[in-house]
């Protein structure tokens, strides 16, 4: 699969709260596992599916990251939900760094 993000993703594992708004306008809260994160988006794993295009907020220990659901796909033990943050650069590692963060160097490609 071709990578669509302009910056690299950092793999992580962190329990976060997710807030969505249902069709009647009421907020719904759930806990999710933060799977990966970058300055412009993240992937969380949830027990239930969320509609693409829905507004979603990730509540971390030191930040609130608001965005839109870009995809939701079933993944064996739940749903992987891709979120594009409303503000590019919304996540800053100096403000919030997941406890389990894996920053793997990117391989150098030969021309």
pLDDT of residue 4: 56
**pLDDT tens digits, one per residue of 1-41:** 444 556 778 899 999 999 998 778 889 999 999 999 999 99
* Mean pLDDT across 90-111: 74
Residues 48, 29: contact at Cβ < 8 Å?
Answer: no
pTM: 0.83
3-state secondary structure of 94: coil
All structural domains of the chain, each given as residue ranges with its CATH number in brackets, are 12-89 (2.40.10.220)
Separation of alpha carbons 6 and 75, rounded Å: 24
**pLDDT tens digits, one per residue of 56-95:** 999 998 899 999 999 999 998 899 999 999 998 899 888 8
Q: Is pLDDT above 50 for 42?
A: yes
Separation of alpha carbons 97 and 81, rounded Å: 20
Quick one: which of 11, 43, 53, 47 has its CA closest to 29? 47
């Amino acid at each position: 699969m071709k990578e669509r993000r302009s910056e690299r993703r950092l793999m992580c594992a962190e329990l976060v709260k997710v807030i969505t708004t249902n069709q009647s306008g009421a907020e719904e809260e759930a806990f999710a596992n933060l799977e990966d994160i970058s300055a412009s988006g993240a992937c969380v794993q949830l027990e239930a599916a969320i509609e693409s295009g829905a507004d979603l907020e990730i509540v971390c220990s030191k930040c609130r990251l608001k965005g839109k659901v870009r995809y939701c796909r079933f993944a064996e033990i739940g749903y992987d939900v891709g979120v594009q943050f409303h503000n590019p650069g919304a996540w800053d590692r100096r403000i919030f760094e997941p406890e389990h963060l894996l920053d793997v160097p990117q391989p150098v490609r030969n021309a």
